Structures are given as C-alpha cells and as structure tokens.
Amino acid sequence: MKINFLTIFPKYYDAFKTESIIAKAIERKIVEINVIDFRKFTLNKQNKVDDEIYGGGDGMLLMIEPIDRALESIKEKTKIILLSPQGTPFSQKKALELSKESSITFIAGRYEGFDERVRFLIDEEISIGDYVLTGGELPSMVIADSIIRLIPNVIKENSYKNDSFQNNLLDYPQYTRPAEYKGMKVPEVLLNGNHKEIEKWRKEKAIENTKNKRPDLLERIKNDK
C-alpha cells in the first residue's frame, strides 16, 4: 500500500515514518509513505496557501488551488480522504475496509478549514471524534496507523483478530507475570492450561467489559442481527 499525506507541516510525519511497526513495514516494502507539502504547489511568490473568507469571518481558509495541484501530482489511482470534524466517524470496520486499498491520500487541514470546493476533489471525509484539533496531521496518522497494522504481514493476524471493536466487542482482560502483585491475582482460569475454559472465560469477559464500558456497542450488535 502507498499512503500519501498532504500537509503544510511535513515534519509532523518524521517520527511516524521512522519508529516501531510503521518503520518496519516501510523497510520491508509493505507500505510506502509519501509526504507532500502542498505549500510547494502555490503559484504566488509567498507560497501562500490560505486567504480571507468571502463574506467575512475570523481566521483564514485553505485555498483549493494548491491542494488540487498537489493531488494532480500523484500519479497512481488513489482514494482521497479529507480529515475533518464534519466527517463520518472513524471505526475499526472502516479501518478494515481501507486496509484493502492499494493507495490512500490524506489531506490534513489547518486554520479555519478548507474552501468548500475542496470537497469536490475527495472520495471521503472522515473524523476521529467530536472535537476540534489545530490540524489534520494527527488524525491522518491515527487513521493510517490503524490501517497499516491490518495489512497482511505487518503484524501477526492473531495480534489483531481479538482487538477491541472486532465484532463490536471490547477486548477481554489480559495479564502477564507475576501471577500475583500486591495482592492482585491473575484469574485462576488463565493459569490452569485448559484452553477450552480459557476461551469461554475470554468471551464472557469481552461481553462483560463491553456491557460495563460501552453498552452502545451491544445495542449495535442487536441492530445488526
């Protein structure tokens, strides 16, 4: 998969590309990351990418032209995603869907947002939550990270098949050594070696965890039936 990030702050992505699982996926040529500074696609001498809002208003809007020109520089067919608080809420289901794409391009905004006509250039508008950030760089990395880990051979399939939100359930509790710490004990069922009992316990705890923390997810399961 190839992932393009359109931004006016390309250094945001330096650590993202060079650390941990993402760096290994790049090294193994499973993923290619391309950061595009759309400030370089302006036609004015000042490399200005924003301007005042027609009709008045506070702040500045990102202009459509440099973004359009930056998108035109991408040669492969790509799914174009705009990061915006107005977008469809991101989910694990969407991450799985996007992990099957061959190329994705994220447009990270700044200031008061985009000239509305930018929305004619995109395939999808996604939000990571009902709040506002200073820019789209962090959301683009959040979504890219969740997608990349689902691409075959990036991590072991067993590492994510029981993730929270798979099948609309939160993950079950997990423990490691020591078996007891300051009076807090690992459940006995996890220590007895009976895999059938362990699997049953994990399913029960996943449902219990979801009921206690995110009952709305259980309602979603009922509505899907």
pLDDT band at 137 (very low <50, low <70, confident <90, very high): very high
> Is residue 39 annotated as a catalytic residue, yes or no?
no
Which sign does the torsion angle of CA 13, 17, 18, 21 carry?
positive
| Mean pLDDT calculated for residue range 2-21 | 97
In a shared domain, residues 105 and 185: no
Q: Which pair of structure tokens corresponds to residue 28?
A: 């193994």
Whether residue 158 has pLDDT greater than 70:
no
Q: What does the pLDDT average to over 55-75?
A: 95
- Tell me: do 110 and 211 sit in the same domain: no
Residues 172 and 135 grouped into a single domain = no
Residue 183 Ramachandran class (φ > 0 left, ψ -120 to 50 alpha, else beta):
left
Nearest to 110 by CA among 89, 88, 84, 92: 84
Mean pLDDT across the stretch 7-12? 97
- Match 């991450």 to its residue by tokens: 95
Given a contact cutoff of 8 angstroms between Cβ atoms, the answer to whether 126 and 174 are in contact is no
Q: Is 149 a residue of the active site?
A: yes
Q: Is 157 within the bounds of a domain?
A: no
Residue 164: the pLDDT is 57
Q: Residues 37, 68, 69, 85: which is the catalytic one?
A: 85
For the packed helices 137-148 and 20-27, what is the interaxial angle rounded to 10 degrees? Answer: 60
Of 52, 112, 123, 204, the catalytic one is 112
Do 21 and 98 fall into the same domain? yes
Q: Are the C-beta atoms of 186 and 180 separated by less than 8 Å?
A: yes
Q: The domain spanning residue 7 has which CATH number?
A: 3.40.1280.10
Cis peptide before 215 (omega within 30 of 0): no
Contacts of 221 (CB under 8 A, 6+ apart): 167, 168, 169
Cβ atoms of residues 107 and 79 within 8 Å? no
Average pLDDT, the chain: 93
For the ranges 56-65, 95-104, 166-175, the one whose mean pLDDT is highest: 95-104
Active-site position among 65, 115, 125, 163: 163
163 has catalytic annotation: yes
Please state whether the predicted TM-score (pTM) of the whole model is above 0.85: yes
- Among 148, 177, 196, the domain-final residue is 148
Span 83-88, mean pLDDT?
95
Rounded Cα distance between 147 and 97, Å, is: 9
Tell me what the mean pLDDT of segment 74-88 comes to: 96
Averaged pLDDT for residues 2-13: 97
Q: Which residue has the higher pLDDT, 85 or 162?
A: 85
33 or 223, which is more confident?
A: 33
Which among 29, 43, 119, 45 is positioned nearest to 81, based on CA atoms?
Answer: 119
Domain that holds residue 172: 164-224
Q: Does residue 112 carry a catalytic annotation?
A: yes
Distance from C-alpha of 173 to C-alpha of 135, rounded to nearest angstrom:
34
Q: Is there a single domain that holds both residue 27 and residue 136?
A: yes
